[in-house]
Amino acid sequence: AAAELATGAAALATFGDLLGETTLLPVTATIDFLSIALGPLTATAKLNGNEAEIRAELAAGKRPEFEVVSEITNAEGKVTGRVRTVWTLKPNRKA
C-alpha cells in the first residue's frame, strides 16, 4: 500500500498547484514483486517523464497521462518491488 501511496504523493508534489483547475486520476497500476520483502521497507517514487511537457500538453487543452514509478527497498537497500502508476490530469469543467 505504501508504494501505491508514494506514486500519488509524487504526482501531488509535482502537480498539486493545478488541483484547483484539474483532477488527478489514476489510469492504470502494475506491481512487480521482485523478492520477499521482510523487515522495515521504504517506498520512494519519482515522475517518469518531463514535467514541462506534461504541463504544456495540459495548457494545450489535452488530458496528459504520465507514469510515476515507486520502488520498495528493504533495510539493506535491495529493491523488493516496483509499482508503476499511470496518472492523468483531467481538466475540471467550467461552471
pLDDT tens, residue by residue, 42-78 = 999 999 999 999 999 999 999 999 999 999 999 999 9
Contact 58, 4 (CB under 8 A): no
* Angle ∠(88,63,43) on CA atoms, nearest 5: 15
Q: Which of 93, 68, 89 is nearest to 18 (CA)?
A: 89
How many percent of the chain have pLDDT more than 70?
99
Residue 15 grid coordinates: 502537480
Question: What global pTM score does this model have?
Answer: 0.90
The arithmetic mean of pLDDT across residues 21-27, rounded, is 96
Mean pLDDT, rounded, of the chain: 94
